[in-house]
Amino acid sequence: MEQFSRFIAIIGLIAVMALSVPYISSCIPEAETVTATTTKTVTSTSATTVTSTSTEIVNNTVTSTYTKTETSVSTVTETVRLITVTDDAGITYTFEGPVDTIVSLAPSITEIVYFTGAGDKLIGRTDYCNYPEEASEVASIGGYYDPNKEKILLLNPDVVLADSIQCTTGDVEWFQSQGLTVIVIAPSDIEGVMRDIMLVGTLAGNQDFAAYAVAGLENRIDAVCNTLGGLGEAEKPSVLHITWYDPLWTVGKYSFLDIIIEMAGGINIFGDVEWDVQVDLEQAVIRNPDIITVVTDHGSEISFHSVIAEGSPFKETNAYLNGCIYIVDSDIVCRAGPRIVDALELYARLLHPELFS
């Protein structure tokens, strides 16, 4: 019964992700995330009036009274830093200075917040935000698909950071109707992840820090790509990535894992389908992958053990015969955050161990 419940939960997760694709495609334009900082001058004027009275007395008789009124005017000019960002839904926002409080509605976004040095501004995160460890000290606002809306309203953050799932569930529109500022962080590729890191860093006032951090990630990406630059097509192993075993779910083109597999010098055997998709088990066996990777399910290895079992339907594939079936951490390979570069390095090592120590 427990396994059945887990199966239903996973299928629900995959189904929501798959169904969200048309909506995301229609509401998120093919435009780059834009961040900019400008300044505006605010002038305030204050006036102070002081009145003094003096009296002259001669022989106990008031001979004259003098009243003096003085007014001083002071003007203060202050420069306010304006921060303008355009999110992944194509909406542009302008803030007077860095935000002070943030609520994150996705684990990948929470990782970005901490990666940009803005963890001290995070006042709310989901139950699934488990990295970095410091995130556990921040108040939870509920689940990924069912955040506690009333609690978020009470927190009254300067900004709510949402991903594409909250677009499909209607949470983004609901929070906006309640007066909260909601910024959509939903990158479609690794370059998008880098842009969104810069966006969050700029929002938090850590633009320089974020730029330095992104440069480090890009250097790591370049190192992998340069090492694999001379590979011919015949040297690229075919890869099956399994997100769930029964029924069999995998990734197609436009998904992050398809991008990662290609960048890591491999060929996705289901690159002819799109996004996260259920496929025919027999067809997966016929395509004979050289390497199979299987994600964990919140720490569970059920799918992995099914694939490597003695009676596995994959037992005649190159991957099974050559011992090239690997379990990978779903938190690392499935989140569109800074650790996506860890995923790239991981796959590069799995696919080409002779090139990466």
pLDDT tens per residue across span 233-281: 999 999 999 999 989 999 999 999 999 999 999 999 999 999 999 999 9
Model confidence pLDDT, tens digit, residues 63-90: 566 666 666 666 766 677 899 999 999 9
Read off the pLDDT band of 54 (50, 70, 90).
low
The pLDDT of residue 230? 87
Please confirm whether the linkage preceding 132 is cis (ω < 30° from 0): yes
Give yes or no for residue 208 having a pLDDT over 50: yes
Amino acid identity at 257: L
Work out the average pLDDT over 294-318: 88
The pLDDT of residue 8? 43
Strand, coil or helix: 90: coil
The pLDDT of residue 80? 75
Q: Which residue has the tokens 């929501």?
A: 16
The pLDDT of residue 4? 42
Give yes or no for residue 96 having a pLDDT over 50: yes
Give yes or no for residue 49 having a pLDDT over 70: no
The pLDDT of residue 118? 98
Residue burial 87-120, b: 16+ Cβ < 10 Å; e: rest: bbbebeeebeebbeebbbbbbbbbbbbbbbbbbe
Q: Above pLDDT 90, what percent of the chain?
A: 73
The pLDDT of residue 61? 64
Range of lowest pLDDT (5-9, 85-89, 209-213): 5-9
Distance CA 113, CA 183 (A): 13
Position with higher pLDDT, 301 vs 48: 301
What class is the 87-221 domain? Answer: alpha beta
The set of residues, in sequence order, having a beta carbon less than 8 Å from that of 282 and lying 6+ positions away, is 313
Read off the pLDDT band of 22 (50, 70, 90).
very low
How far is CA 334 from each of CA 16, 25, 86, rounded to the nearest angstrom? 15, 19, 24
Position with higher pLDDT, 297 vs 272: 272
Distance CA 72, CA 128 (A): 59
Q: Which residues pair with 39 in a beta bridge?
A: 81
**Do 325 and 307 meet the contact criterion of CB atoms below 8 Å apart?**
yes
Give yes or no for residue 29 having a pLDDT over 90: no
Read off the pLDDT band of 46 (50, 70, 90).
low
3-state helix, strand, coil in the chain (%, to 5): 40, 30, 30
Read off the pLDDT band of 35 (50, 70, 90).
low
Q: Which residue has the tokens 């001979």?
A: 63
The pLDDT of residue 301? 86
Question: What are the sequence ranges of the domains in the chain?
Answer: 38-80, 87-221, 230-351
Give yes or no for residue 345 having a pLDDT over 60: yes
**Domain 230-351: CATH architecture, name and number where available:** 3-Layer(aba) Sandwich (3.40)
- Please say whether the dihedral angle defined by the alpha carbons of residues 135, 138, 141 and 142, taken in this order, is positive or negative: positive
DSSP H/E element including 51: strand 34-58
How far is CA 299 from each of CA 161, 329, 330, rounded to the nearest angstrom? 26, 8, 9
Model confidence pLDDT, tens digit, residues 119-176: 999 999 999 999 999 999 999 999 999 999 999 999 999 999 999 999 999 999 999 9
How far is CA 335 from each of CA 68, 101, 128, rounded to the nearest angstrom? 72, 23, 12
Amino acid identity at 144: Y
The pLDDT of residue 348? 98
DSSP per position, 270-299: TTTSBSEEE--HHHHHHT--SEEEEE-BTT
Strand, coil or helix: 110: helix
Question: Given this chain, do its domains 87-221 and 230-351 carry the same CATH topology?
Answer: yes
